[in-house]
Amino acid sequence: MASAQGTSRAGLLCPAVQAGAVYPFPTVISISNSRVYYLDGNSTIRYVAPDGSTGVATTIAVGSKVVAAFTVSPDDRRIAVSLIDFSAMPISVRLYVEDLKAGTNHRDIFSSASRDHVVWPVGWHAGHLVLAVMVTCSQGGGPFGDVAGYHVVDALTAARIVAIPPAGCYISSKPSPAGITCTTGTTLNALDWSGRVIKSVPQPANVDVIALSPDGTWMAGCCGSKGEMIIFDPEAKQTTKPEGFYPGWIDNDHLVLIVALQSGLPAETSILVLSSGRMTPLSVAGYFAGRLPVGD
């Protein structure tokens, strides 16, 4: 097991807010086919590899009220960076791509100014960029709000290829290599990165934290009426597991779960093997962030 530890970025206030809660900056990581990259402090991007090797991948020039979000391509060659400036309203965003090594072949591909939305690069698919459209500083909220949707864009021009999910279907999962899930309230849909529906099942009651497997054939969600894990197999057959929340798929047979123990004890991070039902506690705590290799 390889591990590394970074320093959190300084918290932020929304523009024109003179007092109040300072919101912590979300953890920013990016997973390629060979490394996990993470933001250390305000501007340093470091990596850790499965063999335990670590190092500095690059640094990003940011001001005290500018935050950097990034994603590294699966082959470790390119990086996309979104610089979000919270110093004034409207909030300005600049998105660029460049070579991860030495910052060569730099290209500014998008800029905008908005009072309530920003774009945040979260991944790559088939050579294109995947951007999260995030709500920010709206209706009294902080700088880092919910994801309103995803745009797949050309990595050279930022021209939009597809926006997902469609109107009336609301995001219910983090992105996976296969796509995302969304719910209409009565139907739970899995969408690939072209926006095509690849699976559709009745929306289980009380289940709103969904994980889509890397190939898009399985879904897992928390929590059912009795707090159980709900799992849909490739034939859309629904089964339940007695415990576990915040699921994440390693592959179609292995789920990372947070398991609640007896009252008064801390929750435990475990791996569930679906084929056998075996639950194996991990020696480290935390939430599932992604798998390595990430794939296309």
Q: pLDDT tens digits, residue range 155-166?
A: 999 999 999 999
Q: What percent of the chain has pLDDT over 70?
A: 91
Domain range annotation of the chain: 29-164, 170-281
Give per-residue pLDDT as tens, 239-271: 887 677 788 999 999 999 888 765 656 678 999
What average pLDDT does the chain have?
A: 88
Please determine, looking at this structure, whether the domain spanning 29-164 carries the CATH number 3.40.50.
Answer: no
Query: End-to-end alpha-carbon separation of the chain, Å?
Result: 24
If you search the block for the tokens 């800029």, which residue do you land on? 111
CB 214 within 8 A of CB 198: no
**Region at 188 (left for phi over 0; alpha for psi -120 to 50; beta for the rest):** beta
Residue range 37-63: mean pLDDT, rounded: 94
What are all long-range contacts of 80-88, with beta carbons under 8 Å and residues at least 24 apart?
Answer: 80/121, 80/124, 80/129, 80/155, 81/121, 82/118, 82/119, 82/120, 82/121, 82/131, 84/118, 84/120, 84/136, 86/12, 86/13, 86/14, 86/15, 86/137, 86/143, 87/15, 87/63, 88/15
174 vs 296: which has the higher pLDDT: 174
pLDDT of residue 140: 61
Residue 20 has pLDDT above 60, yes or no: no
Does residue 75 register a pLDDT over 90?
yes
Looking at 137-141, 267-271, 290-294, which range is the least confident one?
A: 137-141
Mean pLDDT of 186-204: 94
**Cβ–Cβ contacts within 10 Å for residue 208, how many?**
14
Per-residue model confidence (pLDDT) at position 19: 47
Span 170-281: which CATH code? 2.130.10.10
Tell me: pLDDT of 28 over 90. no
Q: How large is the greatest C-alpha to C-alpha distance in the chain, in angstroms?
A: 55
Q: 159: buried, middle or exposed (CB in 10 Å: 19+, 13-18, 0-12)?
A: exposed
Cβ atoms of 73 and 31 within 8 Å: the answer is no
Q: What percent of the chain has pLDDT over 90?
A: 55
Residue 104 has pLDDT above 70, yes or no: yes
